[in-house]
């Protein structure tokens, strides 16, 4: 987080027991409210602030514009809404709350064992920042002495950026609630979706947010979903069988993968088994954008035998695809890539995660382009490739990587593109399960299953979708993460959790070296089926 080297001079107003300032951020500058142009009125349980002029440069200059902020008391909660006008397009409306007591901040990622993000963080002078989409929901909480105190959540029917910042200043903590408009709609007028500020825990805030999504955004609970094939409701075990690493190292050929599936399906009904295939296409990530069975893994015939063999054992194959990545050095890239990059609101090209695949310690992945699934050329190409492969090889599910990647693209909405992608594939293949990597709240309405890190506070995702172990979670023999860039990490024992499909990850020597652990997970999958699923027809 950066801060100005001078006092911005924003006037502060008492509203609903909070000390509040407002800033407006346009495409060219930061503005506050001109103090002499502000009027604050209270009518019953409503405070209404109006400013008929803006100031900038630390209160040294004035600009045309109007701002309104309304704070409505509803029992213990405050509902904040507003609008702004300026002489140039407006990006953000920022509400600043001053002088809160010492606290820690909690966001909706919860305990991220693998990435070190999210969860509870102490508020310091340097500040903490949490961004949505990024965290799973636009819900944040402050804790005092480790106890729930205040939650903040945005009630927005659209997928648009929200940022929550907190830092120590003067006598207490300052909080910023930042709303950014969809970059396709930047204009001189902006309307602020409601912010809710109320006492309570992050868990209570997430439950309230889920109720809002059900009522206003059409989010449907798991038991009522219509985009989940009937066969997928019988799943209780995922086999994550790694193929080829980025470097070309082979963990499992198609024939070796089928041997593993055969062994497992002798111990549990194959109809309970979903076979996840990362690295099936050859060099992981490198081959993104030009999908085909890899000759070194067994070629087209070997992949056909794998898919057919999984079906014959009652199971379901799920190859992995990149929702928004392609190799820019491939010849086919020119047909769909240059016109499809993910952009920021001011047209910076999105760079993504930049793994250190070649161990140069540079993260220089210039061959890896990040593409917007909302861009017609990339969406059409991705649908074409995936649909042709589904038709040719007859697998039952597809998995899309990095679906959580998002930016405020001024040309095409990333979220809308993912929704269209999933819808087009399900329309073409009605019995196809379309699954995804990590998630934010609105993606729960697009994909019915995710491989995701721990669910965070409240585990509310389980009411709407299913998940299995993330690709970066270790297999049980030596802690390898297979094709994933994390390398090695401790194996984590699995428990029986509603909504979580027990998972076994296989690299080249898992089967030989970890059979007791494999048997434990299979037993867990049988118990999951007995407790949570309907009996299979005989």
- What residue spans define the domains of the chain? 13-216, 231-324+374-437+469-532
C-beta separation of 444 from 458 below 8 A: no
| CATH number of this structure's domain 231-324+374-437+469-532, picked from the four choices 3.40.50.12780, 3.40.50.300, 3.20.20.70, 2.40.37.10 | 3.20.20.70
pLDDT at 115: 45
Q: What are the distances in angstroms from CA 425 to CA 82, 274, 384, 389?
A: 40, 19, 9, 12
What is the SS3 assignment for 162-187? EEEEEEEECCEEEEEEEEECCHHHCE
DSSP per position, 107-127: ETT---TTT--SSEEE--TT-
Can you give the C-alpha Rg of the chain in angstroms?
A: 25
Query: How many CB atoms within 10 Å of residue 500?
Result: 23
Q: Which residues contact 413 (CB under 8 A, 6 or more apart)?
A: 159, 182, 184, 374
**118 closest CA partner among 101, 105, 102:** 105
Paired tokens of 471: 């690709």
C-beta separation of 377 from 346 below 8 A: no
Chain-centre distance for alpha carbon 470: 13
C-beta separation of 294 from 244 below 8 A: yes
Residue with tokens 């903590």: 173
Q: What CATH code would you report for 13-216?
A: 2.70.98
Cα(464)–Cα(217) distance, integer angstroms? 13
C-beta separation of 300 from 311 below 8 A: no
Cα(398)–Cα(420) distance, integer angstroms? 15
pLDDT at 116: 45
pLDDT at 109: 77
Helix intervals (H) in 338-469: 376-393, 414-428
Helix axes 376-393, 299-312, angle to 10 degrees: 70
Helix (H, G, I), strand (E, B) or coil at 284: coil
C-beta separation of 41 from 52 below 8 A: no
Helix (H) or strand (E) holding 516: helix 515-532
DSSP conformation class of 371: B
DSSP conformation class of 375: S
Helix (H, G, I), strand (E, B) or coil at 8: coil
Pairing of strands 503-506, 237-241: parallel
Which parts of the chain have pLDDT scores under 50? Answer: 111-116
Cα(258)–Cα(255) distance, integer angstroms? 5
pLDDT at 112: 46
Cα(189)–Cα(491) distance, integer angstroms? 52
Strands (E), 433-510: 433-436, 449-451, 466-468, 503-506
Q: CA torsion sign, 159 to 161 to 167 to 170?
A: negative
Helix (H) or strand (E) holding 215: helix 202-216
Cα(323)–Cα(425) distance, integer angstroms? 13
């Amino acid at each position: 987080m950066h801060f100005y080297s001078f006092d911005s001079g924003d006037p502060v107003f008492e509203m609903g027991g909070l000390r509040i300032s407002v800033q407006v951020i346009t495409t060219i500058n930061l503005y506050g409210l001109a103090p002499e142009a502000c009027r604050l009125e209270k009518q019953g349980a409503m405070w209404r602030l109006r400013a008929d002029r803006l100031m900038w440069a630390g209160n040294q200059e004035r600009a045309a514009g109007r701002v309104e902020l309304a704070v409505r008391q509803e029992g213990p909660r405050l509902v904040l809404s507003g609008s702004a006008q300026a002489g140039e397009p407006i990006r953000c409306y920022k509400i600043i709350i001053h002088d809160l007591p010492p606290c820690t901040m909690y966001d909706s990622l919860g305990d991220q064992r693998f990435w070190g993000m999210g969860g509870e963080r102490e508020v310091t002078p340097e500040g903490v920042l949490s961004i949505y989409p990024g965290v799973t929901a636009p819900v944040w909480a402050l804790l005092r002495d480790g106890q729930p105190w205040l939650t903040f959540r945005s009630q927005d029917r659209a997928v648009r950026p929200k940022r929550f910042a907190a830092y120590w200043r003067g006598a207490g903590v300052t909080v910023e609630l930042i709303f950014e408009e969809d970059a396709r709609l930047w204009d001189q007028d902006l309307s602020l979706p409601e912010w809710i500020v109320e006492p309570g825990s992050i868990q209570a805030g997430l439950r309230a947010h889920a109720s809002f999504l059900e009522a206003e955004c059409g989010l449907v609970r798991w038991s009522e979903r219509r985009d989940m094939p009937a066969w997928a409701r019988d799943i209780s075990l995922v086999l994550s069988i790694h193929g080829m690493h980025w470097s070309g190292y082979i963990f499992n050929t198609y024939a070796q993968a089928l041997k593993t599936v055969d062994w497992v399906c002798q111990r549990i009904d194959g109809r309970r088994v979903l076979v996840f295939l990362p690295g099936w296409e050859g060099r992981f990530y490198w081959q993104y954008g030009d999908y085909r069975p890899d000759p070194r893994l067994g070629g087209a015939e070997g992949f056909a035998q794998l898919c057919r063999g999984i079906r014959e054992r009652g199971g379901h194959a799920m190859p992995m695809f990149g929702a928004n990545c392609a190799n820019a050095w491939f010849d086919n890239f020119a047909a769909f890539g240059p016109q499809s990059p993910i952009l920021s609101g001011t047209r910076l090209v999105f760079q993504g995660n930049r793994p250190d695949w070649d161990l140069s310690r540079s993260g220089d992945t210039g061959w890896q382009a990040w593409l917007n699934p909302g861009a017609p050329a990339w969406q059409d190409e991705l649908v074409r490739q995936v649909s042709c492969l589904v038709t040719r090889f007859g697998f039952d599910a597809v998995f899309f990587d990095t679906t959580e990647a998002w930016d405020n693209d001024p040309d095409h909405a990333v979220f809308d593109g993912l929704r269209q992608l999933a819808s087009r594939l399900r329309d073409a293949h009605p019995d196809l399960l379309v699954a995804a990597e990590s998630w934010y709240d609105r993606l729960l309405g697009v994909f019915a299953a995710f491989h995701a890190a721990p669910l965070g506070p409240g585990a509310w995702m389980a009411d709407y979708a299913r998940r299995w172990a993330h690709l970066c979670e270790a297999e049980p023999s030596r802690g390898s993460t297979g094709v994933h860039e994390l390398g090695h990490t401790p194996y984590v024992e699995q428990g029986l959790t509603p909504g979580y499909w027990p998972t076994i990850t296989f690299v080249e020597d898992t089967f030989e070296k970890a059979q007791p652990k494999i048997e434990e997970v299979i037993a867990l999958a049988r118990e999951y089926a007995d407790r949570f699923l309907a009996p299979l027809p005989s």
